[in-house]
Amino acid sequence: MIVPIQHASRLSTTLGSLPLMQGTAQKQKTSGKTFWSALKKGLSGPKLLKPNYSITHNKRILLVNTPNGRPVRVRFAPSPTGHLHIGSLRVALFNWLFARHHNGTFIIRIEDTDIERSKQEYTESIIKAFEWVAITSDEPIAYQTARLDLYKGAIDKLLASGNAYWSDPAQEENGKSVIRFKIPTNRTQIQFNDLVRGPIAFDSDQIGGDFVIARADGSPLYNFVVVVDDIDMRISHVIRGEDHISNTPKQILLYEALGAEIPHFAHLPMILGPTGAKLSKRDAATSVIDYRTMGFLSDALCNYLVRLSWAHGDQEIFSRDEMVQLFSLDHVHKSGAIFDMIKLRWVNSVYLKQLPAQALSDLIHTDIDATFKARCATWTAEQILQALDLYKDRSSTLAELRDFVIALNTRPHLNTLPEEEKWDATTRMLLDACVAQLNVLEEVTPATVEPLIKGICKQQQVPLPALAKPIRFALTGSLHSPSVYALVALLGKEETIQRIEQLKSMHFKF
């Protein structure tokens, strides 16, 4: 059972004793609303200036453990304001693989303090998506709304130490005092070594001045709460998307002010659409759950995502164990990765081929179509499995495989003959001979059907396609299908003869 982690007392060890707010409440001339009531209103903070930054292009230094040897602990922290995004899954996957590779700890933290936009249905959807891809939190899932006292105590400490202050309401756009973090006047630059991009430096004047860490009602903002959470959870490596690079200098200053060890940072490149722009719904589905309903396998999806910006030579297909063994941030590329649906479908087809028919049947039933078996009700369970085995090599997704099998189960419409085929009286004669010999065939298997069809063609001195193609068309309505011998054996003598007779009656009445 998944339960929220309650706010722990560990932070007091790192932050020191967190005094209750003394006198600052009188300084804040607002409506006196508490954290809880403020969060329930879902107030949003001001947008902060996105700074520029410089990157020193020398060789990046990969550090796994901190100097004091603290263990690897990473987290993935989605906001339940929508379904899990495909790009977010890649970030979570990289974190999970990094933790597994270093025998570390992976934690899922739900950042649900935006009460107006956060919905329980999205929280449940995110958790289900992780269950589907078998990425689980090593500790109980943490919820920010269960940790509000922790944030309040940290704000009190910053106020008491002079590292934060209530602003002059006259200087704020809405005329309300907010809590701002005071950038040290002697700090001209903030630097860090990005484990993907190398050394990055921000000039202090690029940050945009003293930045807001809590709104007028006292409710904390993103850059502040993630630092408090990461300190409390003893996060050693923050692995996230490159859109968070601009947040990093502010967060480093907060770590320093709270007396905490700064984690290592690694910023992953974005997933891009075919045009090189940010991936959008026009390019491909963006919700992880959509890929499940489209018939992609979770292992195949993770295999594809791990290859976006990471490589191990020319290898394309990895088992989960291989991913864990081989994954390294040192092999993550800096440039954005193009999302290629054709490549994803190919990877998925490789995984489909490796699965036994029963597993495919179960996945179709649970992931995309609970009515699948009922739609093949005229067949035995064994026939369904045979059909899945026949068509899995021709399918890229479970949905395609399901459609192939259901189409084969349904007697085809043969209203129009293929234009490229010139079937005539000879074709009718060959089909008559096939029906006659099938009628007396005692055991219908691929091994008995193959010599029957080949024998007729040899006797009539015609090439094999002269009979195999019209039989294939009669059985499937297409000139392209798996082995015609296997199709006859699967459908059985009676159904095969009826479908051939249907073709003859519609197009060979001479």
Q: Taking residues 183-200, what's their average pLDDT?
A: 95
Q: Which residues pair with 107 in a beta bridge?
A: 75
Overall number of domains in the chain:
1
481 lies in some domain: yes
Q: What is the mean pLDDT of residues 389-398?
A: 98
Residue 114: pLDDT band with limits 50, 70, 90:
confident
Mean pLDDT of 459-472: 97
Considering the domain boundaries, does residue 308 fall inside one? no
Residues across the chain? 510
- The 10s digit of each residue's pLDDT in 158-180 is 999 999 999 999 999 889 999 99
The continuous run of DSSP H or E covering 194 comes out as: strand 189-194
Ranges assigned E (strand) in 204-312: 211-214, 237-241, 264-268, 271-272
Quick: pLDDT tens for 466-498: 999 999 999 999 999 999 999 999 999 999 999
Domain range for 430: 425-507
Indicate the pLDDT class of residue 66, thresholds 50, 70 and 90. very low
The C-alpha atoms of residue 463 and residue 316 are separated, in whole angstroms, by: 41
SS3 state at 368: helix
Q: Model confidence at 29, in pLDDT bands (50, 70, 90)?
A: very low
Residue 510 pLDDT class (50, 70, 90 cuts): low
pLDDT higher than 70, residue 21: no
Helix (H) or strand (E) holding 260: none
Looking at residue 501, what is its pLDDT?
Answer: 96
Q: What is the mean pLDDT of the chain?
A: 87
Task: Tell me the Cα Rg of the chain.
Answer: 32
Percent of the chain as helix, strand, coil, to the nearest 5: 50, 10, 40
CA-CA distance, 509 to 499, in Å (whole number)?
15
SS3 301: helix
Q: Please give the span between the terminal C-alpha atoms of the chain, in angstroms, as a whole number.
A: 70
Rounded to the nearest 5 degrees, what angle is found at the Cα of 362, between the Cα atoms of 475 and 91? 115
CA distance 51 to 478: 60
Per-residue tokens: 183: 């950038």
- Provide the greatest CA pair distance for the chain: 105
> What pLDDT was estimated at residue 348?
99
CATH number, domain containing residue 503: 1.10.10.350
In a domain, 145, yes or no: no
Q: Cβ-count burial of 15 within 10 angstroms (0-12 exposed, 13-18 middle, 19+ buried)?
A: buried
46 domain-assigned: no
Question: Average of pLDDT values for 116-139?
Answer: 96
pLDDT at 478: 94
Assigned token pair, 67? 């100097």
Q: Is the pLDDT of residue 11 over 70?
A: no
What backbone phi and psi angles, to 5 degrees, belong to 241? -75, 155
Q: Is 309 left (phi over 0), alpha (psi -120 to 50) or beta?
A: left
**Beta-strand pair 198-203/189-194:** antiparallel
Residue 374's pLDDT is 95
Q: Which amino acid belongs to residue 74?
A: V
Other beta carbons less than 10 A from residue 57's beta carbon = 10
pLDDT number for residue 351: 98
- Residue 353 domain flag: no
Distance CA 470, CA 473 (A): 5
Check pLDDT > 90 for residue 43: no
- Which tens digits make up the pLDDT trace of 428-453? 999 999 999 999 999 999 999 999 99
The yes-or-no verdict on residue 330 having pLDDT over 50 is: yes
Does any domain span residue 97?
A: no
Q: How many CB atoms lie within 10 A of CB 429?
A: 15
Structure confidence at residue 232 (pLDDT):
98
Which residues touch 293 (CB under 8 Å, ≥6 apart)? 367, 368
Q: Residue 355: which pLDDT band, with cuts at 50, 70 and 90?
A: very high
* Residue 173 within a domain: no
Q: Does residue 419 carry a pLDDT above 90?
A: no
Q: Is the pLDDT of residue 95 over 60?
A: yes
What is the bridge-based pairing of β-strands 54-55 and 198-203? antiparallel
At residue 275, the pLDDT reads 85
- Contacts of residue 439, Cβ cutoff 8 Å, sequence gap at least 6: 493, 497
Instruction: Let me know: does 475 contact 481? Beta carbons within 8 Å.
Output: yes
User: What is the pairing mode between strands 264-268 and 237-241?
Assistant: parallel
The yes-or-no verdict on residue 353 having pLDDT over 80 is: yes
Q: Which residue has the higher pLDDT, 189 or 2?
A: 189
Q: What are phi and psi of 405, to 5 degrees?
A: -70, -45
Query: In the predicted model, is pLDDT for residue 44 greater than 80?
Result: no
State yes or no: pLDDT of 403 exceeds 80. yes
pTM of the model: 0.84
Nearest to 30 by CA among 166, 143, 177: 177
By CB atoms closer than 10 A (0-12, 13-18, 19+), residue 321 is exposed
Strand partners, 240: 267
Write down the pLDDT at residue 280. 81
429 lies in a domain?
Answer: yes
- Work out the percent of the chain whose per-residue pLDDT is above 90: 77
pLDDT at residue 442, as a whole number? 94
Of all residues in the chain, the percent with pLDDT exceeding 70 is: 86
Residue 362: helix, strand or coil by DSSP?
helix
**Cα 451 to chain centroid, rounded:** 49
Torsion angle defined by CA atoms of residues 245, 249, 251 and 252, in that order, rounded to the nearest 10 degrees: 120
